[in-house]
A and B are shown apart, each in its own frame.
Chain A
Amino acid sequence: MNETAVQGGAGRWFALLLVFDAVAALAMIAATWAALLYAGDAINLAGVEQVAQRIFYFHIGSNIAALLGFLASLVGSLGYLISRRLVWDRWAAAGVEVGTIFGVFVLLSGAIWAKPAWNTYWTWDPRLTTATITVLIYIAYMLFRNGFENPDTRARFAGIYAIFAFLSVPLTYYSARLFRSIHPIVFDGANQEAQGGFSIGPTMGQTLAMAMIGFGLLFFALLFHRVRQMELESRIDAFRGEIVE
């Protein structure tokens, strides 16, 4: 009796989730259209750089999503360690998983853009360094979780790791900035952070907002699905335990 009620509730939530998916998909289509067709050209760029700057919308959009994943994992980890309820841990884990996808995309889109703009795919700019280290921490977090059988131990240890990891991220940024500032500058004596910059017109600003909303919604859609999947997984585990008994 109780079970069917639970399933009915889950079904309603699932329908709502599908609606949310559709909204996120529409927002992403709109953002893609705006980024490729609607947004005006950057005034001060020409040639390949003009084409490449349009990746900026996807770059910033996925950066927002990666940042949300970062937040979800921190809040989820703290929430679990304080409340000891596994729901929090699922949000943390899902946040990291979804955040990693977007984090990798931030790095790749940045590298693709940097080749025409900076004439190199990669530089140890503080932001690049910090973003890379953060993605590596995410990956380490997922590998770490893999090695535990007991869900409570897993949640506790992963939470502890997350707190330490995120403590080190601001310090990484700070030390990488110091590292750059006293090193020789790679790009023609100019500040390389300024290279490839462009001014933003009204259509570009609107497009940027659309990209951020689109990627934000996409992030939450993926996050909700992953959390739901994890919940189902733990229920299957519980049922399996009952059958064995």
Chain B
Amino acid sequence: MMAELPQEGEQSRARAGLAGYFRVVWTVAEKDVRTELRAKEILGTMAAFSVLAAVIFGLAFDLRVPRTELVVPGILWVIILFAGVLGLHRSFGSETDRGTLTGLLLAPVERSALYLGKTAANLLYFLVVEALLVPALLILFDVNLLKPLILLGLLLGTIGYVAVGTLFAALTARNRARETLLPVLLLPVLAPLFISGVGLTAAVLDGRAASEAWPWIGIIALYDVLVFAVAFLIVDLIWEQG
């Protein structure tokens, strides 16, 4: 894996310039995805959990609610929230377990590029799972979520989720109770995303005017911007010595 990172002669070039920066991001993301394709730790679990959860929700609600459109927005976002936590803690958990995190941190590159690369890999996992979940909800609940505004909200919401989630996964990787702690830390902080995601999905499914959907998108986008801005400011603090 380390061979993928810029070689000695390239260091200065890799560190300077935006292109070099994004090459580091790409390298880290590619490394993560390749490891995942070989180890199959994250994607399979997340996907299986998502479909399983959709079935469970179907059994829990289907006979009790008059129209499934009433509960599907909540179901969609709850599943994403919980499935996401499953995947995120492996993002740094597997690195810590194998002792490869130290190697990664020793690489002479910007820490924020490492964070961004990890975030990009996680984003890919999430999107793959969502691409599976949306059709699954269509089949189980007969609710079509393939509407442009819902998909836009889903994409932006996932970006914000992954941005916070990856950072928190890095924070909890060193904690004694990391697997159990991550959801407790994440879920309340994700409240604005969750509320807005459900609000947006419900507004679109109810067939309300697009002008009622855009404020939700606005909140989600604002959340994304704020989270990335703060993440970039503080990412160097996470991996200090100590």
A137 interface hit (Cβ, 8 Å): yes
Roughly how many angstroms separate A150 CA and B184 CA in the complex, as a whole number?
Answer: 21
The answer to whether A148 touches B230, judged by C-beta atoms less than 8 angstroms apart, is no
B101 interface hit (Cβ, 8 Å): no
Roughly how many angstroms separate A161 CA and B227 CA in the complex, as a whole number?
Answer: 12
By CB atoms of chain B within 10 A, which of A81, A140, A161, A172 has the most?
A172
A171 interface hit (Cβ, 8 Å): yes
Roughly how many angstroms separate A150 CA and B167 CA in the complex, as a whole number?
Answer: 20
**Smallest Cβ-Cβ distance to B186: which chain A residue:** A140
By CB atoms of chain A within 10 A, which of B167, B196, B240 has the most?
B196
B240 to chain A, nearest CB (A): 7
Residues facing A in B167-210 (CB within 8 A) are: 167-168, 171-172, 174-178, 181, 184-185, 187-192, 195-196, 198-199, 203, 208
User: Which of B171, B174, B177, B190 contacts A161, CB < 8 Å?
Assistant: B171
The answer to whether A136 touches B188, judged by C-beta atoms less than 8 angstroms apart, is yes
Q: Which residues of A contact B216 (CB under 8 A)?
A: 175, 178
Roughly how many angstroms separate A202 CA and B143 CA in the complex, as a whole number?
Answer: 57
By CB atoms of chain B within 10 A, which of A139, A164, A176 has the most?
A164
B139 interface hit (Cβ, 8 Å): no
Q: Which residues of B contact A157 (CB under 8 A)?
A: 171, 174-175, 238
A167 interface hit (Cβ, 8 Å): yes
The answer to whether B238 touches A160, judged by C-beta atoms less than 8 angstroms apart, is yes
The answer to whether A137 touches B234, judged by C-beta atoms less than 8 angstroms apart, is no
Residues facing B in A173-227 (CB within 8 A) are: 174-176, 178-179, 182
The answer to whether B174 touches A148, judged by C-beta atoms less than 8 angstroms apart, is yes
**Interface residue tally on A, bucketed by range:** 20 to 34
The answer to whether A140 touches B191, judged by C-beta atoms less than 8 angstroms apart, is no
Q: Which residues of A contact B175 (CB under 8 A)?
A: 144, 147-148, 157
**Smallest Cβ-Cβ distance to A157: which chain B residue:** B171
Q: Which residues of B contact A137 (CB under 8 A)?
A: 188-189
A133 interface hit (Cβ, 8 Å): yes
Roughly how many angstroms separate A161 CA and B170 CA in the complex, as a whole number?
Answer: 11
For chain B, what secondary structure do more than half of its interface residues adopt (helix, strand, loop), or is it mixed? helix
User: Which of A150, A165, A174 contacts B242, CB < 8 Å?
Assistant: A150
The answer to whether B215 touches A167, judged by C-beta atoms less than 8 angstroms apart, is no
The answer to whether A167 touches B222, judged by C-beta atoms less than 8 angstroms apart, is no
The answer to whether A164 touches B164, judged by C-beta atoms less than 8 angstroms apart, is yes
Roughly how many angstroms separate A198 CA and B219 CA in the complex, as a whole number?
Answer: 34
The answer to whether B199 touches A178, judged by C-beta atoms less than 8 angstroms apart, is yes
A120 interface hit (Cβ, 8 Å): no
The answer to whether A156 touches B237, judged by C-beta atoms less than 8 angstroms apart, is yes
Residues facing A in B77-125 (CB within 8 A) are: none
- A-B contact sample (19 more), CB < 8 A, given A81-B234, A157-B238: A139-B184, A140-B181, A144-B181, A144-B184, A147-B176, A156-B242, A157-B174, A157-B175, A160-B171, A161-B168, A168-B223, A171-B219, A171-B222, A171-B226, A176-B195, A178-B199, A179-B199, A182-B203, A182-B208
The residues of A with any CB-CB pair to B shorter than 8 Å are 81, 129, 133, 136-137, 139-140, 143-144, 146-150, 152-153, 156-157, 160-161, 163-165, 167-168, 171-172, 174-176, 178-179, 182
Contacts A/B (CB < 8 Å), 26 sampled: A133-B191, A139-B184, A140-B184, A143-B181, A146-B177, A148-B174, A149-B176, A152-B242, A153-B242, A156-B240, A156-B242, A157-B174, A160-B167, A160-B171, A160-B234, A161-B168, A161-B171, A164-B168, A168-B188, A168-B189, A168-B190, A168-B223, A174-B192, A175-B219, A176-B195, A182-B208
The residues of B with any CB-CB pair to A shorter than 8 Å are 164, 167-168, 171-172, 174-178, 181, 184-185, 187-192, 195-196, 198-199, 203, 208, 212, 215-216, 219, 222-223, 226-227, 230, 234, 237-238, 240, 242
